[in-house]
Amino acid sequence: MNKFGSSITETVSGNRPFRVMVVDDSAVIRGFISRWLDEADDITVVGTAANGLMALRSVRSSDAEVVILDIEMPQMDGMTALPKLIELVPDIKVVMASTLTKRNADISLKALSAGASDYIPKPETSRDVNASQEFKRELLEKVRALASARRKTRREPLPTGMKEPAVGNVAKPSDPSGAKPFKLFGNRRGEIKLVKAPVYKPDALVIGSSTGGPQALCKFLADAKHFLSGVPVLITQHMPKTFTAILAEHIARATSIPTKEAEDGEAIKTGHIYVAPGGLHMVLAQSESGQKIIKLNDKPPVNFCKPAVDPMFTSAAQLYGKKLLSVILTGMGSDGTLGAQDIVKVGGTVIVQDEASSVVWGMPGSAAHAGVASAIIAIDDMGPTVGRVIMGGTL
């Protein structure tokens, strides 16, 4: 019998718990992480390793779906092991784990470009790890989301008791009589109805993203860079402090557009990109002189996130109205959906990334199923599509 109370035969044939390998040179941290994962009914730790070399020797035999991979380790560090793990198991999901230093933040973002699926900031000491409930919550959430996405792609069942994600067809607004097929994964059927897109040329572009967001942002914005001189671009990416400043640097290199971590009270300039700083919400407002400005606040997390997409979207809708274009990229959860509803209410436009190109189709999928999206676009097509809309074209 396994932890689900089912037989070994049933477990092998399907509905197995998510399988995780933990790779960290600290035995104490390996122990904490492994225990937390094993305590969850839908997760099991199938292997641990003290360095990348040990992980490479056992990743195939362990049949791991997700690897929690430390960056700094002896013999073989995480960055060296990452491409080798992906070569051995091409669709494995790797989460880079590092402490919150500028160097580690930069390495983590480079790891995403090299094939890692996500990152998680580790507390500074083993004592902090043991005391951090937020780290534990985020760890479990990322493992579940990434392993679920992998199984959906492979058409494999989720662990017993987990609900299949809502999927279905897309009914185009120009053809309300019937739904047309759209490439979505999963088993539960439903229907996604697209909102007819407004025809207004946008005055601003706002973007929300989470898991998989850094690589999607750099790809999308690099593809759209020639069209962005006429609008300000404001981004809320779920990230901790330090990481957001590094993300801004990566976007600046990818686009050659002035990009920075947003500051409280600064004027919003056309042709500039602003990234919400980790640990603060970014909202848009109007000064007493009528200038559009950025306001940062330290209010409680929204959707467990800080910064969160919903506050930015809602404030942008109030400021720009029907001349607002918004994009929701890959990410866990549903942050951005309520704000997207506010954007649609004032006549603005919502575009979401499609499932096939998303690392996790949580945020964009939630908005799509809420009926607020005017288009569902693959990341390779997002830049040209958004560029066309910014220039006054239609979806």
d(CA 310, CA 270): 22
Q: Which has the closest alpha carbon to 225: 201, 189, 202, 255? A: 255
DSSP category for residue 161:
T
Sheet holding 43-49, edge to edge: 43-49, 18-23, 66-70, 93-99, 118-122
Residue 187's Cβ-side half-sphere holds a number of Cα atoms within 13 Å equal to 11
User: Does 307 sit behind a cis peptide bond, omega within 30 degrees of 0 on the bond before it?
Assistant: yes
Distances (CA, A) of 229 to 100, 324, 326: 33, 15, 16
* Burial 222-249, CB ≥16 within 10 A → b, else e: bbbbebbeebbbbbbbbbbebbbbbbbb
CA atoms within 13 A on the CB side of 7: 3
Residues tagged active-site: 210, 238, 335
Separation of alpha carbons 217 and 231, rounded Å: 16
Q: Of 61, 31, 56, 27, whose CA–CA distance to 46 is shortest?
A: 61
**Rounded-to-integer distance, Cα 98 and Cα 108, Å:** 8
